[in-house]
Chains A and B, each alone.
Chain A
């Protein structure tokens, strides 16, 4: 076993355990043999040709634009035409077009981001459009046998801009078929953007959508849309209600603080009710409207809920959750066996916060169970990158499913090279935690397990304090990992409690050792640990003798590149007496989704390694505690790529 200093000094590769036999093809495949494929050879020649051309052109003091250097389908004829055109300036400041991103100075491999590295970042089983920018999930719904996902989409560039509704359908939430853009910016009331909205299924099976439009004058209004042909299960064509907008900002609400209507639910009087996030000064609020036809609305007195100091509430979500059953509930369900969740996306800190509480349908008000854990100041869906999420009730499988936008944390220049930006998290089911009753449980939808293949099982591995163990796997870029850990009880008992204030983000990451942690798995790890992303537990024994468990993901050594975010994420995770510590990690190239204690605390990370990629990505198990021995059992599956 290597010492834990490997984690502290990841460059000390000589200290790697020798019990570990490197994969036979490990190093060879790291540097692919220098054999140019015919296509690449052509590209190479073209590049060489271009370089000469650029030098000549530069001497002429007029750097022309060139096609992307490693674009393999560049043909000489294209080069000739491109050299003539100089679409450098569109003459407008606003709006981004795809054409704008051709390299300025000509062919050159950008260090450290080779196209090989950037290609690797594309995921295998996370939803994303074929190219360009995506943000919030919109109007998720199960309709006539198909799961529909609409999304905020900028079709012209991998950066936010004039937004339309992208659209895709699936039979299983995993494999997707891309469909034409569902709604464009073709009306005065959504000229600046077809922004976020939600779908509601009416009792007769009809579907309606309410969405925010940014008008020609950039006023945020709510609009109604519905399928052109309700019998088309793919819902390809959409009609915008001619009487739009159906809602404009009410008095006292700023024109630009009125967006993201929810799915509607039934009131006791049989009307429909929606809520829309806003703010008054720095107080985040959720306005409530009743309607019978989705065309005329009545603003209720007061708000569903307000929390001072939280700023603008975006993408508010409101839904019931069962206190007893393991089913999800339709949004209109209410009664004694039900709690209600309010979730809002905080514009100020770009995180999704939720709280559990009680809904008074007669007053249109919601009260948190625990005011110290109110919306925006308490629990988060996810302690990593996770924003603008939205749930829907899946009547097909009686569950509530959560979608979320996962942004990039690399540079815009890299996104332009990649040609895409953003992912959707693997959809999660949401249930109330029946044991703690104070948090929800999020878990990847069961369908994702259909992608599992090639299981590797590690049973009862004993990790001494300071141990680091490579897990021999065929590959490590697409994994589903389920791991259980047990701390050595005798050590835990023997230790004196201390007044520990642990905080994942502030406590130095996986390299900082304590008596009872950190221990866990390091994903997307390079052999010499020059790059690796540890996901781990840290247990702290308080002066009262009670244990506190933290769940963290440490990006600080995830990449040797210096232009990517390397934050450390995490939070406390409730662990009840007698429970083992457990984690599940979905690794899918540049995204790592981690779940502790069956989904009580979740962390989504974006990582951009430059070395721990393709065949050089490994999985390590580690125990960086100074006192306790940890016993670990791990199941690892390779994940097939989904059809996306």
Chain B
């Protein structure tokens, strides 16, 4: 029993690894022509200084703008990724809102929080990065991480199970990576 479990988990693991490998290779092959060694090195060193190297690398490498960007551009890409995730979160909240009326209070709060992220934190951060006042961009991303945590707690505080746990954690992580990149500009 134990062994079979182990084997099946190994097989599962192998498949995930394969998918990862494929993803990695395809990313690599796709991106390599556009990314000169120097840029690649900038992206790597930048990502090494963030709390999540893999998330940072995958987000930056899938964006062609990273190929000739400076750290400020890398920060902008990360802020853009934060916005995309928060926008998806709002869509997801809207659809859950229909099917899970018992969660409406928490969902409402989460919606307010992610609206604040998309409409306030993100535009403020972009303006701050463009304009050379990175501290306000850092504030925006720091707030985004707090909003994501607060959304998660909206459920737990009511004794409800959050349907958004993974998404909230994703947003928190990407915001923290963005924040770490922005701090290099201070």
Query: Which A residues are within 8 Å of any B CB, using their own CB?
Result: 58-59, 63, 92-96, 100-101, 103-106, 108, 110-112, 157-162, 192-193, 214, 218, 220, 255-257, 311-312, 347-348, 350, 411-413, 415-417, 562-563
Contacts and interface: CB of A to CB of B under 8 A. Distances in A.
Contacts of B105: 108, 111
B124 A159 contact: yes
Interface stretch (B19-27, B57-65, B148-156, B173-181): B148-156
Contact of B115 (A104, A218, A415): A104
30 contacts: A58-B97, A63-B97, A93-B83, A93-B126, A95-B123, A96-B123, A100-B119, A101-B120, A103-B111, A104-B90, A104-B94, A104-B115, A105-B107, A106-B108, A108-B108, A112-B157, A158-B120, A159-B120, A160-B136, A162-B127, A192-B131, A193-B131, A347-B186, A348-B186, A350-B135, A411-B146, A412-B121, A416-B115, A416-B116, A417-B112
Contacts of A214: 131-133
B110 to A, nearest CB: 9
Contact of A110 (B112, B124, B130): B112
Interface string B84-96: 0000001001100
B116 A412 contact: yes
B172 interface: no
A100 B127 contact: no
A255 B132 contact: yes
A159 B121 contact: yes
A412 B143 contact: yes
Contact of B122 (A58, A59, A93, A108): A93
B98 interface: yes
A256 B127 CA distance: 13
B151 to A, nearest CB: 9
B157 A111 contact: yes
Contacts of A157: 120
Contacts of A193: 131, 133
A104 B113 CA distance: 10
B116 A101 contact: yes
Given A100-B115, A159-B120, 8 more contacts: A94-B127, A101-B119, A111-B158, A161-B124, A162-B127, A192-B131, A218-B131, A411-B113
Contacts, number: 136
B116 A411 contact: yes
Given A94-B126, A562-B150, A412 B94 contact: no
Interface residues of B, number: 46
A413 B104 contact: no
A411 B113 CA distance: 9
Contact of A105 (B108, B136, B158): B108
Contacts of B108: 103, 105-106, 108, 110
A350 B135 CA distance: 8
B78 to A, nearest CB: 13
Nearest to B119: A100
Contacts of A161: 123-124, 127
B120 A412 contact: yes
Contacts of B134: 347
B112 A104 contact: yes
A137 B183 CA distance: 24
A192 B139 CA distance: 19
Contacts of B35: none
Contacts of B157: 111-112, 562
Interface string B141-172: 00100110110011001100000000000000
B124 A96 contact: yes
B132 A563 contact: no
A145 to B, nearest CB: 35
Contacts of B81: none
A218 B146 CA distance: 29
Given A256-B132, A411-B147, A105 B97 contact: yes
B27 to A, nearest CB: 25
A105 B104 contact: yes
A115 B36 CA distance: 53
A70 to B, nearest CB: 13
B73 interface: no
A413 B98 contact: no
Q: Which of B116, B124, B127, B147 has the most chain A CB atoms inside 10 A of its CB?
A: B127
Nearest to B109: A110
Given A108-B104, A416-B116, A562-B150, A94 B97 contact: no
Contacts of B42: none
A59 B97 CA distance: 10
Contacts of B116: 101, 411-413, 415-416
A324 to B, nearest CB: 39
Contacts of B122: 93
A563 B124 contact: no
A483 to B, nearest CB: 34
A92 B146 CA distance: 24
A567 B108 CA distance: 28
Contacts of B83: 93
Contacts of A112: 157
A413 B144 CA distance: 10
Contacts of A110: 108-109, 112
Contacts of B117: 412
A397 B153 CA distance: 52
The 6 lowest CB-CB distance pairs between A and B, nearest first, are A256-B132, A100-B119, A108-B108, A413-B116, A563-B150, A159-B120
A257 to B, nearest CB: 8
Contacts of B135: 347, 350
